[in-house]
Chains A and B, each alone.
Chain A
């Protein structure tokens, strides 16, 4: 088998641009997923079952259906209701955010509920409101426990951003397919793309390990 490096070098500018977009949409997805996820997690922990219900439904729908299906519905169904023509990057970011929010919510919920019940009681007994107790006592402790599973989720999200190629969002995988189509070659474009994804996920793993270490030495526990 001959490996034509010239295909890889020819397409490198596009791969790099795609990588930039992959990083961009992943960051945006993570950021919005974190914010939405926290809201959903807190909603799902409400003591009122009618408040819990919609958050439960949300999590079940977004965890229970494939991201690919969600992405197609969002891109061809929902986004066109607000903008015309539909924008693949917007659709991809929305899809990744909404999907990861469901997983992140469950990560947050597990993290928050893993904090000893006595912490909330102590905070409340001092006159703190539920919100103050969450903000000052529970969440700062929960953050450390959710870092490892969150890192996992970020890696999944980064890889799943490759589904953007099906709605022609010009991220990394899109350019891989473009190269494969142009040269009618399989190995060079896909190996190059896989290699770039690997670099990204390994960097992310390294980064998350660093954050985890920093947080565990920041204070004594």
Chain B
């Protein structure tokens, strides 16, 4: 479903991703962990072409994002993204945040989009907030709305870029719960996170990145309990 081949990305002289190759199967939940600056956020931002790619290929469902002929906007409708800082649209109500793209990108009728948004809001437990503005929501609520907003496009893949890092500790659980439900429903997911408990419980595979490379990847149990690489061991000893 996602095939990353020899991906390279630099910001100026700083090479952030050095030859990354990774494949993600349909319905697989891949959790990416690693120290800050390891390139994990950049990796999933490249998968959505929010960062331009300096080398290699990223294929989504067989469509090569680096191919000039590929319609990036169309590919993006299949790839939902959830950001660390939510990035809700502050000038729109919660309902409008969710219906904006379905109406304007998918060409969905307003009534239909709103009905769908209501279902999604109920799913993330925020049905009563439909007419509120993002400002009045807590961080955890904002992030759940952001997830609903991404889901409204009916993506085949969901990317999570440190979705709980900007939250107060007591709100982390509610967001992770929504993500777990999504994983159980069979969504293909790549999750960049520092929540090791989530990685262990929900991940089909955990990737440890450091310094622009994938150092090690394995199923969660093996990676957490028996890391092979020194760097992985050092990192895990600090965070576990």
Any A CB within 8 A of the CB of B74: yes
**Which of B77, B105, B135, B153 has most chain A Cβ within 10 Å?**
B105
Chain A binder among B4-12, B32-40, B84-92, B219-227: B84-92
Q: Complex formed: what's the CA distance from A141 to B135 in Å?
A: 14
Question: In the complex the two chains form, is A128's CB within 8 Å of B133's CB?
Answer: no
Chain B residue with minimal CB distance to A140? B91
Complex CA–CA separation, A123 to B133 (angstroms) = 17
Contact of A116 (CB < 8 Å), options: B74, B87, B106: B87
Complex Cα spacing A119 to B90, Å: 9
Question: Which residues of chain B (48-97) have a CB below 8 Å from chain A?
Answer: 48, 50, 73-74, 76-77, 79-81, 83, 85, 87-91
**Which residues of chain A are within 8 angstroms of B104 by Cβ–Cβ distance?**
128, 132, 136
Neighbour of A220 across the interface among B50, B79, B83, B136, CB < 8 A: B136
A119 to B106, CA, bound (A): 19
Inter-subunit contact A128/B105 (CB<8 Å): yes
Residues of A within 8 A of B101 (CB): 123, 126-128
Judge whether B81 and A136 touch: CB under 8 Å: no
CB neighbours of A221 from chain B (8 A): 90-91, 133, 135
Is A219 positioned at the interface, with any CB of B under 8 Å from its CB?
yes
Partner of B87 from A119, A128, A132, A140 at Cβ < 8 Å: A119
Q: How far, in angstroms, from A137 to B73 measured CA to CA in the complex?
A: 16
Tell whether A126 pairs with B87 under 8 Å between CB atoms, given A132-B104, A221-B133: no
B115-147: which residues lie under 8 A (CB-CB) from chain A?
133, 135-136, 146
Name the B residues within 8 Å of A127 (CB-CB). Answer: 73-74, 76-77, 101, 105-106, 153
> Given A125-B50, A126-B76, A126-B77: A220 and B105 within 8 A (CB)?
no
| B50 surroundings in chain A (CB, below 8 A) | 121, 124-125
B149 at the interface (CB under 8 A from A): yes
Chain A residues with CB under 8 A of B100? 126, 136-137
From the candidates A119, A121, A132, name the one contacting B105 in the complex (CB within 8 A).
A132
Return the chain A residue nearest B101 by Cβ: A126
Residue of chain A at shortest CB distance from B100:
A136
Taking CB atoms, residues of chain B closer than 8 Å to A141 are: 89-91
Knowing A118-B85, A125-B76, A126-B77, the reply to whether A219 touches B153 (Cβ < 8 A) is no
Residues from chain B with Cβ under 8 Å of A137 in the complex = 89, 100
Chain B interface size, under 10 / 10 to 19 / 20 to 34 / 35 or more: 20 to 34
CA distance A90 to B189 in the complex (A): 61
- Give the distance to chain A from B99, nearest Cβ to Cβ, in Å: 11
Interface size of A by Cβ–Cβ distance < 8 Å?
20
B112 to chain A, nearest CB (A): 17
A121: chain B residues at CB < 8 Å are 50, 81, 83, 87
Q: A106–B50 Cα gap in the complex (Å)?
A: 26
Of residues 121 through 173 on chain A, the ones whose CB sits less than 8 Å from some CB of chain B are 121-129, 132, 136-137, 140-141
A121-B50, A220-B133, A220-B135 known; A126+B90 contact, CB < 8 A: no
Question: Does B46 lie at the interface of the complex (its beta carbon under 8 Å from any beta carbon of A)?
Answer: no
Interfacial chain A residues near B74, Cβ < 8 Å = 127
Give the nearest-CB partner of A118 in chain B: B87
In the assembled complex, how far is the CB of residue B207 from the closest CB belonging to chain A, in whole angstroms?
21
B45 to chain A, nearest CB (A): 8
Q: Which of B135-193 contact A (CB under 8 A)?
A: 135-136, 146, 149-150, 153
> How far, in Å, is B67 (CB) from chain A's closest CB?
18
Q: How far is the CB of B58 from chain A (nearest CB, A)?
A: 15
Judging by beta carbons under 8 Å apart, are B73 and A129 in contact? Answer: yes
Q: Which residues of B contact A140 (CB under 8 A)?
A: 91
Contact A219 B133 (CB under 8 A): yes
Q: Which residues of B contact A (CB under 8 A)?
A: 48, 50, 73-74, 76-77, 79-81, 83, 85, 87-91, 100-101, 104-106, 133, 135-136, 146, 149-150, 153
A and B contact pairs by CB, cutoff 8 A, 28 listed: A118-B85, A118-B87, A119-B89, A121-B81, A121-B83, A121-B87, A122-B89, A124-B50, A124-B73, A124-B76, A125-B48, A125-B76, A125-B79, A126-B76, A126-B153, A127-B74, A127-B76, A127-B105, A127-B153, A132-B105, A136-B104, A140-B91, A141-B89, A141-B91, A219-B91, A219-B133, A221-B90, A221-B133
